[in-house]
Each structure stands twice: as structure tokens, then as C-alpha cells.
Structure 1
């Protein structure tokens, strides 16, 4: 019996590592979401701030839970469906991450423009992935990067609104996500996808602590 799952060339050991890593991410996301919402409420933040951090938390939970389930399934039609959902959740996480930043810190027409741009890209990406994941795969990667760094487009307006330590966390998280794509694209040696998962976790942690510190307190 071979140890190859025959799905995206991932071995059984790789898929177990992939599932465990993002299963841990799902558990941390649930705990982190509770912490953000409670902290925002206790610090008497505005309702839109609480909504923003809730959306961010929900996007984290959805991404990591979907990824964990996808990598946990044996190769079948269900796994293919979850593969599509897994890629779609990346779009949702990016917009979810921008939500508390745009709602609470940037605000005004600039905040809504940045958020609206990312939401439009999310809708486009989800629709294209649902139609044909393989065909639009490279475009999706481009959209991920474009969305992730779209805050730079409004840098002249946004920079004074976010403290330098906050910018450091935002940029570090973006670097983790972007550099991780290198491992995501790599096919050999083994466990490259698992390393990609670790970079995603690191990026999420950076952005979680940013939102917790600058939106919830």
C-alpha cells in the first residue's frame, strides 16, 4: 500500500501534518476571536469595531477549519469541494483582516474604498475558483498578493493613523504570507505545503496581535 494520497502529490504524512497544523490554527482562532470580542467590549469600543474584529475572527476560523477538513479527507469528491473552499477562504481571510483596520482605524471614504476594493476582489476570486479552480489558479495567486498589499495604495492617508509598532506587525504579517507563497508553489522536497501552513500561521498571529492591540484596547 502506497503512502501517496494521489491528490496534489501529497503523501499521507504530509496531509496529516497539514491537517494538524491548521487544526491548531482553528483552535487558536476560536480562542483568539473570543479574546478580541471580549476585550473590545470591556474597553467600550464602538459597535462597528466589535463587528470588525468579529468578522476578522470569523474569517480566521473559517480558513483554518476549512483547511483542516480539506487535508483530513481522503481523496474523493468531497475533498475536491473542500479544496475549492480552501482556496476561496484565502480571499475571505484577506478581506476579513482588512475589516477592523478599515472600520476602526482608517475610517471615512479611504477606509471604505480599501475595504470595498478587497471585497470586490474576494467576490471575483470566489466566483472564478468555483467555476474552474485550476484555470484561474495563477490569477488567484496574483489577487492574493494584490489584495494583501492594497493598503499601500492608501499609504499617504493611512500611515499617520497607525502607530509604527502597528505598521511593523502589519508588514511582518504580510511578509510571512508573501514569502510563504514560495513554499506553496514548491513541489519538492516533501512538506513544502506544511511549511506554507506555518508561514500562514505566523502571518495570522502577527495580524491578530495587531488587531488585538490597536483595535480592541
Structure 2
């Protein structure tokens, strides 16, 4: 098992070929998400009740957290193995938390009880399991983490007819389009492909671009549900 203490500092070498734009997309996305998140919280407070406002606040916190942690991790050239592994754990763990956070407003505003509580329980339990995996095994294979991200992200398929019945087809289309982008980005991340401009915009930047666009689509879907 890999832990910060178990990683020999002498064997750790920062990636000398890190593209210049590594983490830049998520740096800007974190700032945009902070303002967008504040907007959706205010919108929920005006248009809905306390529970919906809490759900939107949780969603906003997770999206800002995802992009901010990612930007911090990728923009800095970590000099020690301990710091690098800790930030890697945080970065990968936030993906699971963000997935569950994104589900939360849809469960509370677009799904009826008790289905919404079942879905919430499944995705948050999955998020806890994913975070536990990343903390206990930060060096786990890429395919394992990506598979879990995708599996957790597509739980919504099981309740999609109910979701459409309580919201709209447009919401489902936006969720599906965002899900496809997240999934494609995850697969490309696992493959480390394509790598268009390795010195400036590489395969990881392609992945980050997919996540930023997908998050935007899901944000629009949150507003459609909120304003319905």
C-alpha cells in the first residue's frame, strides 16, 4: 500500500515535461464556479425553500472544491513526495465528492420520495467508498478510478424516466450530454490520449477541458430544475 510515508523522497522526481497550461483551465473554472455557485444559492433561496437551498449550497461547494483543489495540485510543482501524494489524494477524492454533490440538487428538486433518498444514499455511499480508496491506495490503477467515476456518474440512468416526468426532457439531455463528456474525458485520461501539444496543452488538458464543459452543462440543468 502506498502512503506518503512509504514513498521514498529520494526516488520522487517532479514531472519535468509538465505542460505549461497544466491546471490553468481549472484555475479559471474555480473562479467562475465561485460566482456561479453563489448565483445558484441565491436563486434557490429566492425560488425554493431551505432544503433546496442547502442542496444547491452543497453542490456549489463541491464544484468550487473540485476545480480549486485540482488547480492547486496541478499548477504547483511539488518538491516532496509527501506533499505530492497528499495533493493527489485530495484531487482524486474530490471527483467522487463532486459527483455526489452534483446529484444532490436533482434528487431534492427533480425526483420524488423515496426514490430521491435511495439515489442520494447510493451516490454518497459510493463517494465515501471512492474517497476511501483514493486515500488508502493513491497509486491505484487509472482504469480503476475512472471506472468507478463513470459507474457512479451514470446511476441516474436507473431513474431517468422518473426524472423526465418531474422535470423536463431538456434537463435529461443536458445531464446526458455532460455525462458523455465526463465519461469521454475519463477514458481519454486513462489512455493519456490525445496529446496534441505536449509542451503546452497535453492529454490532461483535454481531460480538464471536457470536465469544464460538462460541469457547465450540468449547471444549466440545475437552473432549469430550480426555476421550474
Relative to the length of structure 1, the TM-score reads: 0.90
How much is the aligned-residue C-alpha RMSD, in angstroms? 1.8
Are 2:218 and 1:207 equivalent residues in the alignment? yes
2:192 is paired with a residue whose SS is coil
CA contact (8 A) 2:143 2:190 kept: no
Question: Relative to structure 1, is the Cα distance of residues 181 and 51 closer, same or farther in structure 2, using a 3 angstrom cutoff?
Answer: same
Segments of structure 2 that go 5 or more residues without pairing to the other structure are 1-11
Residue 94 of structure 1 is aligned with which of 69, 90, 99? 99
State the distance in 2 between where 1:68 and 1:180 align: 17
Segments of structure 1 that go 5 or more residues without pairing to the other structure are none
Residue 115 of structure 2 is aligned with which of 85, 104, 110? 110
Relative to the length of structure 2, the TM-score reads: 0.85
Residue 49 of structure 1 is aligned with which of 48, 52, 63? 52
How many residue pairs get aligned? The number is: 209
Residue 169 of structure 1 corresponds to which residue in structure 2? Answer: 174
Question: Relative to structure 1, is the Cα distance of residues 214 and 206 closer, same or farther in structure 2, using a 3 angstrom cutoff?
Answer: same
Residue 5 of structure 2 corresponds to which residue in structure 1? Answer: none
CA contact (8 A) 1:36 1:216 kept: no
TM superposition shift of 1:137: 4.2
The structure in which a higher percent of residues are helix is 1
CA contact (8 A) 1:48 1:104 kept: no
Off by >4 Å, runs of 4+ in structure 1: none
Where does 1:56-71 land on structure 2 (aligned, <5 Å)?
Answer: 56-71=59-74
CA contact (8 A) 2:41 2:53 kept: yes
Question: Relative to structure 1, is the Cα distance of residues 60 and 197 closer, same or farther in structure 2, using a 3 angstrom cutoff?
Answer: same
